[in-house]
Amino acid sequence: MKASSPSAIALFASLGLSAWLLCANAQAEPLELRIGYLRGPSDLSLVRDTGELEKELAGLAVKVRWLGPFPAAAPAYEALNGGSLDLTSGSSTAFVTAIAGGMPMSMFGYQPMPANGEGIVVKDQAPIHSLADLPGKTVAVNRGGTGEYLLSRALETAGIDEGSVHKQYLSPTDSSSAFASGHVDAWATWDPYLALAQNNYGGRLLINGQQLGSENAAGYFIRQDFLAAHPQVVKAVLEVLQRSNRWAREHPLEAGRIWARQMGNQGEEVARQLGATNTSPLLAVGAQQVEQIQHIADWYWRKQIIRQQPVILEHVVDLGNAE
C-alpha cells in the first residue's frame, strides 16, 4: 500500500479539526425559546419584567426571545400554530377552540380565573340592571374565546334565548373602542380590559364570572414538538412562573403596579384592582384541572361553538407543582 504524503495527512487532520470545531460550535449554540406575551396581568408578564426566566434558563443553555404584546390569546395561538412561537399564555376557553381546530399545543400551567377577573360590563348610566335586560341589546365578544363563553354561559344561566342578544364579534382592542364610544350596549371581557372598562370607560360590572358559572382559567401553553424535545426546559419555566406567582400573592399591590405600568401607567386604582384580582395560585395541570377544561370543551361542543370535540387529556402535561 502506498504511504500517504505528509501534505495529505496534514489536509485530513485539518479537515477533521474543522469538523470537530463545527460540531462543538453547534453544541454550544444555545437553544432559543420564543415566548409570546399578552397585554395584561400574568406571571409571564412579571418574569419578563424581572429577567428571572433568562437567568434560570441560561443554566440550561437556553436563550429567551420575547415576542408581543398580543392583545388576546387567539392571535398568540395562531402564531404558535404557524411556528413563530414556542410558548405563550391565554385562557382555557380559547385553548379549547384552538385545539378543536387542530393546533399542536399543550397546557402545562393552570391558574383559576378569579370571580372578578372576568364578567359582563355595561355603562354606569345604562338601563341594564340584570341579564333579563340584555335581549335586544348588542354585546361585544371575542369569537370562540372568553367573551363568547361568558355571554353564552350567562344567558344559559338566566334562561335567556341566545338568539335574542346580538353578539358583536370584535378583538379586545376594537371592543374597548366600541364600548367606550357607546357603539355596543355591553361587553363580555376579562382583565386587564375589565379593569380598564370599570376605571377608565365608565363601566359597571353587571355580572362576574362566578355568578354566571364560569369554569374558565388562565393557562400556559407550549408547542407539542418543543415539549417532546425539551421537557426539562418547560418544567424549569413552570418553576420560575410559580416562584413569581408566590411573590405576587404575597405582594399583590406591587404586582398590580407592575402590570399597570406595563399597560401604560394606568394609575393606582387600576393597579390595586389588577393586583387584588389576578393573583390566584398557579398550578400544574392535574386530573381536576383536566376535568374542568373538558367541561368547557363539552359545553362548547353542545353549543356548537366548536366543530370538533377535543380530548383535553391529549393536550396537557402534568409537570408537578413546585409549591
What CATH code is carried by the domain that includes residue 300? 3.40.190.10
Q: How many residues does the chain have?
A: 323
Find the DSSP H helices in the chain: 6-28, 43-50, 52-58, 73-81, 92-100, 146-158, 172-181, 193-200, 224-229, 231-250, 252-262, 268-277, 287-302
At residue 199, what is the residue type? N
Question: Do 153 and 231 lie in a common domain?
Answer: no
Domain boundary among 149, 183, 208: 208
Domain boundary among 144, 179, 208: 208
Half-sphere exposure of 149 (CA within 13 A, CB side): 30
Residue 25 in domain: no
How sure is the predictor about 313, in pLDDT bands with cuts at 50, 70 and 90?
A: very high
Residue 260 in domain: yes
Question: Do 72 and 161 lie in a common domain?
Answer: no
How sure is the predictor about 28, in pLDDT bands with cuts at 50, 70 and 90?
A: low
Question: Do 234 and 274 lie in a common domain?
Answer: yes
User: What pLDDT is stored for residue 13 in this prediction?
Assistant: 44
**What's the whole-number mean pLDDT along residues 227-235?**
97
Which range (71-75, 219-223, 257-261) has the least confidence?
71-75
Tally of domains in the chain: 2
CB neighbourhood size of 225 (10 A): 11
Domain boundary among 162, 191, 208: 208
**What's the whole-number mean pLDDT along residues 64-89?**
93
Residue 243 in domain: yes
Residue 69 in domain: yes
Question: Do 221 and 307 lie in a common domain?
Answer: yes
Which range (12-26, 38-52, 159-173, 301-315) has the least confidence?
12-26
319: nearest Cα among 246, 245, 249, 233: 233
Q: Which domain holds residue 137?
A: 116-208
Question: Do 196 and 144 lie in a common domain?
Answer: yes
**What's the whole-number mean pLDDT along residues 278-301?**
94
Question: Do 142 and 101 lie in a common domain?
Answer: no
Which range (21-25, 31-35, 256-260) has the least confidence?
21-25
Angle in degrees, CA 68, 141, 256, rounded to 5: 50
Which range (5-19, 23-37, 125-139) has the least confidence?
5-19
Residue 14 in domain: no
**What's the whole-number mean pLDDT along residues 282-297?**
95
